C-alpha cells in the first residue's frame, strides 16, 4: 500500500516583490511529496533529474520518508529548469526561462516495489506521460488525482481528454476550468467537466480558496488570509499533495473525507507561500500543522443560530 | 427599538448579457430594507424620491412592514436614476447614465418616531449625508454599519475618514479596501482600516464571498456558486441589509453573532442576483430563505477529522 506522486523534480529561480532566489529545488512532485509526507508515511516519487541534482537534495526526500527509487538520475544531463518573475499582485507571473532538459523525453519508470500503489497523484506533466503511468500500474489505484494546466489544453487537448477519463479527481484553477469547459459559470463548468470523466473536480482559486464538486454536491474552502505572500510557487502542488496525503491516510473515499482533505491541503499550501520555494514546507512540526488546521476551522466554522 | 436604513431609493435601467430592463425600482435603501425585512420587523427607511415614484412602489415597502415616514417625496422633481451595462464576466460594468435629481441636495429627515433607533445602516451616499444622520439621532445606536464606495474615497476622503470614526462596521469591496488602506494584502488593509475607527470590517469579494475582520479575528464566508448570475445590481446592499436585519433580530453584538449575520446576508444576496433588480427578493418565502441558509451550511461546514 503506497501513494505514488509523479511530476517534475526541478530547479527554479524565482523573483517576487520580496526578493529573488538562485536555482533552488522545486517541481510539482517535490512540493506534493513533501506536503503528502506530513500525513502519510509511504510516499513514493516518480520523476527524472539530471546529475546536477545533488545528493543532499535527494536526502531531503529520504529524510521525509519519501521513497526515491522511481526518481531517475540521468548522467551527463541537466534537470528541468524554470525561472519566473511574479508581478506585484502575486496572481500573475512572467516565465523568463523554461529549459525542459531531462523532462523533454521523460519516460517514467515504475519500480516493482511501487506496484502496491493505492493512491496516485499525477502532477502537472504532459497528459501522455500521465497516462503512461496509469497504464504501467498493474492494479488500478483506489484514487487517482490529476493536476494539469492551460498549456496542455492548448497543445494536447485530445490527450488530456483521453487521460482525464481514467482518473477520479481533477485539480485545475478557475481560468482553466473555464477554458476546458467553455463555460464562465464555475457551476456550469463543473457539470461539463464531470461529464468528461472525473468523479470529483477541485477548482483552485488561489487567494480565494478552492471549490470541490461532485455530481450533486459542492464544498467551498477559503484560503487563509495572509499578511505577506512571499512566493506562490508550488502552492497548488502543495495543496494537491496535502490533499492526497490526507486521503491516503484516511483510507475512505467519499465527499466528506475530501472536505477534510481540502482543508488539510489548503493549510499546507498556506505555509508554502510564506517563504521562498520549499523552505517552509520542509521543516514543519506536527504542532505547526495542527495549529494551522485550527486556524482554518476558526476562519470558516460557524454555529448556525436562528436570530 | 428599530432599525433605520438610509440610502438611495431610485430607478435603475440595467443591461446584462441576459437581457435589459426599463426603469425599475432600485437603490441601496430599497435592496437593504427589503433584505432586512426578512429578519426584523421594525425596519424604517430614510431617503428621498421624486413624484415619479409611484404609490405601488411605496406599497412594496409597506407590504414588507417597512416604515416609510422618513422617505421624502419631492413634488415636481425626479428620483435618482442610474443606468448601467454589465460586461460578460458580470464583475465589471459601465455606467451609462447617472442623474442625481432629488439626491443632489438630499437633506435627510429623521421623523420623531424614528428616534427609537438602535440599529443604523448608512447605505452608500455622500459621507456628509451619512454623518448628518448620525448627528440627528438623539441616542447613539447600538450598532452602526456604513457602506461606501471608491467614488467617495476619490472625491470626499476627508469626510469619509471623519465619518467612519463614528461607526461600528464598515463594508467595502476588496479593491476599495486596498484603495482606502494603500495595502494590497487584505490582512494588512484590514489592520489599517480598523485603526481608522470601525470595530469591524467586512470586505465583500463578490463571487468569492466575504471576509469579516475585527482586531484579532477573521471569518470567511463563501458566495454560493450559481449557474447563472442574472443581474448583480443591489447584491452588496442586499448583503448589508440581511446582515443588519439579522443583527437587529439577534440583539447581541459580538463576533460570533456577526458570523451568522454574514451568512444570512450572503444568502439573501445569492437570491438577489438570480433575477433582475429586486424581483427575486420582494417575494421570498420563509422556507426559501431557510433552505438557502442550509445550502450555505452544506457549502462550507465540515467536521474536522484526523485522518
Q: Where are the domains of chain B?
A: 2-300
Mean pLDDT of A6-35: 96
A244-A248-A252 Cα angle (round to 5): 110
Average pLDDT in chain A: 96
Please give the CATH number for the structural domain made up of A2-300: 3.40.1190.20
Which among B208, B256, B307 has the least Cβ separation from residue A249? B307
Report CB contact under 8 Å: A301, B297: no
Mean pLDDT of B2-23: 95
| pTM of this structure | 0.95
Which among B221, B225, B246 has the least Cβ separation from residue A187? B225
Task: Supply B144's cell numbers.
Answer: 452602526
The proportion of chain B whose per-residue pLDDT surpasses 70, expressed as a percent, equals 100
- 3-state DSSP call for residue B94? strand
Task: Supply B74's cell numbers.
Answer: 419631492
Report CB contact under 8 Å: B226, A39: no
- In tens, the pLDDT along A237-265 reads 999 999 999 999 999 999 999 999 999 99
Check residue A306 and give its pLDDT. Answer: 73
Report CB contact under 8 Å: A260, B302: yes
Q: How many Cβ atoms sit within 10 Å of the Cβ of residue B4?
A: 30
Mean pLDDT of B53-68: 96
Average pLDDT in chain B: 96
Report CB contact under 8 Å: B209, A220: yes
Please write down the long-range contacts of A58-66, taking CB distance under 8 Å and 24 or more positions apart: A60/A25, A60/A34, A60/A278, A60/A282, A61/A30, A61/A33, A61/A34, A64/A33, A64/A34, A64/A37, A64/A282, A65/A37, A65/A41, A66/A33, A66/A34, A66/A37
Q: Is the pLDDT of residue A91 over 80?
A: no
Kindly list the residues from chain B whose CB atom is less than 8 angstroms away from the CB atom of residue A227. Answer: 185, 187-188
- Closest approach of chain A CAs to the CA of B263, in angstroms? 9
Reported confidence tier of residue A89, pLDDT bands at 50, 70, 90: confident
Kindly list the residues from chain A whose CB atom is less than 8 angstroms away from the CB atom of residue B305. Answer: 250, 257, 260
- In tens, the pLDDT along A103-128 reads 999 999 999 999 999 999 999 999 99
Report CB contact under 8 Å: B263, A304: yes
Kindly list the residues from chain A whose CB atom is less than 8 angstroms away from the CB atom of residue B303. Answer: 256, 260
Q: Which residues pair with B122 in a beta bridge?
A: B6, B146
Kindly list the residues from chain B whose CB atom is less than 8 angstroms away from the CB atom of residue A222. Answer: 209, 220, 222
Comparing alpha-carbon positions, the chain A residue that sits nearest to B297 is A304
The proportion of chain B whose per-residue pLDDT surpasses 90, expressed as a percent, equals 94
Check residue B306 and give its pLDDT. Answer: 73
Report CB contact under 8 Å: A300, B300: yes
Separation CA B301–CA A301 (nearest Å): 6
Check residue B307 and give its pLDDT. Answer: 67
Report CB contact under 8 Å: A302, B263: yes
Which among A208, A221, A227 has the least Cβ separation from residue B208? A208
Mean pLDDT of B19-47: 97
Q: Is the pLDDT of residue B242 over 80?
A: yes
Which among B220, B226, B263 has the least Cβ separation from residue A187? B226
Report CB contact under 8 Å: B305, A218: no
Separation CA A272–CA B170 (nearest Å): 32
Check residue A88 and give its pLDDT. Answer: 80
Comparing alpha-carbon positions, the chain B residue that sits nearest to A303 is B260
Kindly list the residues from chain A whose CB atom is less than 8 angstroms away from the CB atom of residue B304. Answer: 260, 263, 293, 297
Question: Which value does ipTM take for this structure?
Answer: 0.93
Comparing alpha-carbon positions, the chain A residue that sits nearest to B206 is A208
- Exposed, middle or buried: residue B285 (CB in 10 Å: 0-12, 13-18, 19+)? exposed
Check residue A200 and give its pLDDT. Answer: 98
Please write down the long-range contacts of A159-162, taking CB distance under 8 Å and 24 or more positions apart: A159/A126, A159/A127, A159/A128, A159/A131, A160/A127, A161/A196, A162/A127, A162/A131
Check residue A307 and give its pLDDT. Answer: 67
B89 to A188, A291, B93: CA distances (angstroms):
14, 38, 9
Which among B89, B185, B188 has the least Cβ separation from residue A184? B89
- In tens, the pLDDT along A184-222 reads 999 999 999 999 999 999 999 999 999 999 999 999 999
The proportion of chain A whose per-residue pLDDT surpasses 90, expressed as a percent, equals 94
Report CB contact under 8 Å: B307, A186: no
Amino acid at each position: 500500500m503506497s501513494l505514488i506522486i509523479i511530476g517534475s523534480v526541478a530547479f527554479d529561480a524565482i523573483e517576487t516583490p520580496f526578493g529573488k532566489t538562485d536555482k533552488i529545488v522545486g517541481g510539482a512532485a517535490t512540493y506534493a511529496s513533501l506536503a503528502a509526507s506530513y500525513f502519510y508515511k509511504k510516499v513514493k516519487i516518480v520523476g527524472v533529474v539530471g546529475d546536477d541534482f545533488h545528493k543532499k537534495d535527494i536526502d531531503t526526500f529520504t529524510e521525509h520518508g519519501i521513497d526515491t527509487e522511481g526518481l531517475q538520475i540521468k548522467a551527463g544531463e541537466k534537470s528541468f529548469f524554470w525561472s519566473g518573475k511574479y508581478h506585484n499582485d502575486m496572481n500573475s507571473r512572467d516565465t523568463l526561462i523554461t529549459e525542459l532538459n531531462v523532462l523533454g523525453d521523460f519516460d517514467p519508470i515504475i519500480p516493482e516495489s511501487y506496484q502496491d500503489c493505492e493512491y496516485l497523484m499525477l502532477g502537472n506533466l504532459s497528459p501522455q506521460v500521465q497516462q503512461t503511468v496509469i497504464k504501467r500500474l498493474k492494479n488500478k489505484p483506489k484514487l487517482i488525482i490529476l493536476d494539469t494546466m492551460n498549456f496542455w489544453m492548448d497543445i494536447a487537448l485530445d490527450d488530456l481528454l483521453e487521460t482525464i477519463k481514467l482518473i477520479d479527481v481533477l485539480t485545475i484553477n478557475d481560468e482553466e476550468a473555464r477554458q476546458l469547459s467553455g463555460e464562465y459559470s464555475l457551476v456550469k463548468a463543473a457539470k461539463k467537466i464531470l461529464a468528461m470523466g472525473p468523479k470529483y473536480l477541485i477548482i483552485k482559486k488561489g487567494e480565494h480558496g478552492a471549490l470541490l464538486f461532485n455530481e450533486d454536491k459542492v464544498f467551498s474552502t477559503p484560503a487563509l488570509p495572509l499578511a505577506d505572500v512571499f512566493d506562490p510557487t508550488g502552492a497548488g502542488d502543495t495543496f494537491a499533495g496535502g490533499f492526497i496525503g490526507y486521503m491516503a491516510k484516511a483510507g475512505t473515499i467519499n465527499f466528506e473525507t475530501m472536505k477534510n482533505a481540502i482543508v488539510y491541503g489548503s493549510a499546507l499550501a498556506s505555509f508554502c507561500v510564506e517563504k521562498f520555494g520549499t523552505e517552509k514546507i520542509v521543516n514543519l512540526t506536527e504542532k505547526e500543522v495542527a495549529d494551522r488546521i485550527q486556524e482554518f476551522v476558526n476562519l470558516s466554522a460557524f454555529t448556525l443560530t436562528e436570530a
